[in-house]
Structure 1
Amino acid sequence: MSERATAVAHSNIALIKYWGKRDEGIALPATSSVSLTLDAYSTRTTVEWGRDTDTAELDGAPLAGEAGARVTRFLDLVRSLAGRSDGASVISRNTVPTAAGLASSASGFAALAAAASSAAGLDLAPRELSILARKGSGSAARSIFGDLAVWFAGDDDASSFAEPVTDPGLDLAMVVAVVDAGVKTISSRAAMRLTAETSPYFPAWVDASRTDFTDMLAAIAASDFTRVGELTESNAMRMHASMLGATPPVSYWQPDSVRVLHLVRDLRSTGIECYATMDAGPNVKILCQRRRMESVRDAVTAAGITRVTTSLPGPGVAVSRDDE
């Protein structure tokens, strides 16, 4: 049985957002969500058990402080499941900017969950792996799966998991306008907690998002790209509105963020159908169909955004072990 495994997981961008927890201890979300996994951004993580203590490295640098402690807490979950007490070495490489609002924690903890559990000798079903990944970073539950995925809020630990959603022919793509790849001034976790605790608009966000979730699943099933896009954009703007109502207000937007949002509306007026979404960061993701991807990319580049990434739907997590 292998004591070492490597996993590759891709980041995902929520079309119906996850923002707010009902239970922080086990990362139970306030609402269900829908996401698109991207082929452009990924994390590759190798875990080897049999060490005296835990060590973690990201992009060639040791993970210390809270980041390192977060990895150790996650490894504790795997140790508990596997009935072991030894330490592990964790080595990760990101192709996605870390902590920039581009879902690096989603790909990171999905890869860690898959590699650590496999190396520890566990053979988890996809749903079990999704539940485990959720406890590292909520959105990681969705990165276990490729293409479109749904994460059910659930009522308890066992019922809060992600699963794939069949795409009946939407032919989705995403253009990412990287406004700022730097580390965010306030983490998603802290901003989420602040919004839930202090924003008077948060309950309205939760109510509206529950309706958006149901409507999104219906739009996907009907292959209605226009409705999928409209829901994607409005859901993101409502999330950010709830954040602006926090005390103090939370805003990740930068001047170029607003400029890209206006550009997306301008593109729609010229017949290039696309829709904007933003997470906890300044970068704008533009949902379109594959045939429009290059036109959208060219327009964003022409507007002066120098770092633009195009992406098609990405795969689910993949694991390889030394004994294979």
Structure 2
Amino acid sequence: MALPLHAEAYLDHLAVERGLSDHSLAAYRRDLNLYGTYLEAIGLASPVDADAEQVAAFAAWLRGQRTARGRPYAKSSIARTLVAVRGLHRHLVRDGVVDVDTSTELAAPRPGRSLPDTLSQAQVDQLLRQAEGSTPAHQRDTAMLELLYSAGLRISELIGLDVDDVDLIDLTVRCVGKGSRERVVPLGRMAAGALRRWLSDGRPALEPRGPMLFCNARGGRLTRQGGWKIVKRHADAAGLGDAVSPHTLRHSFATHLVEGGADLRVVQELLGHASVNTTQVYTHTSQARLRALYDQAHPRADFDVAPAAGRTSG
């Protein structure tokens, strides 16, 4: 069974915008294939055609399915599949394919929220140094990476920027995020310097055909996939592994702000989150890192050490 219509675009969104690993993407693909099997069984060619009742019935259908070994699907597998289906329907609304999210009645057990992957400050420096160079491509890549980390932008926000969206006097960048919400984010001086070099030297050399801030070698606006490949290429060259994506820099931006003492509401506004609950995950990331540093550094962090002889509690 082929993937449901529009599923490939959703998987591309998960890879580029969310930075999901190949393993996670493969799981989403399997789950959406299963949804495609269900749609075919009830005579629908696309999730676009499914109403709320049909989508809600998918959960009951799924609970009645068996694995290849004849066992019922595990609750965790069912939850993951329903999350994938809800994500697909929400993506259809975001992309303007449909006006109404028909998956809102799809009851899915809420899985535990995983902490986002982040880079240490030293790793960010390593990545940024890797992109340095005097060619137009190097100047563009350095400016892109600096801006992703300095402003915490999504890759779609970055490639959507025009030259006029950057104010190198007030050191701000104006971008449009999810839900067409516009926000203005401060720029660091390192990012501003990289942008000045790109705008004065690198960008004119590539002869851009429009107002876009970042262009490709042919002068056209970069695509999300093109921006993602640039980040991946420099991350691989810096030896940072396959897990680094544009979204990793956004996560790192937020985590480092929280670790530096920034108020959570400020971080929410900088990221463009509609709810502070979404931003809350970065406090957990910060606490996890603090725990790791404590366990490594404190002489009495090892709780497996036996108490000294003769010592009693009380």
TM superposition score category, shorter chain reference: under 0.3
Relative contact order higher in (CA < 8 Å, ≥ 6 apart): 1
Larger Cα Rg: Structure 1 or Structure 2?
2
The TM-score normalised by the length of structure 2 is: 0.26
TM-score normalised per structure 1 = 0.25
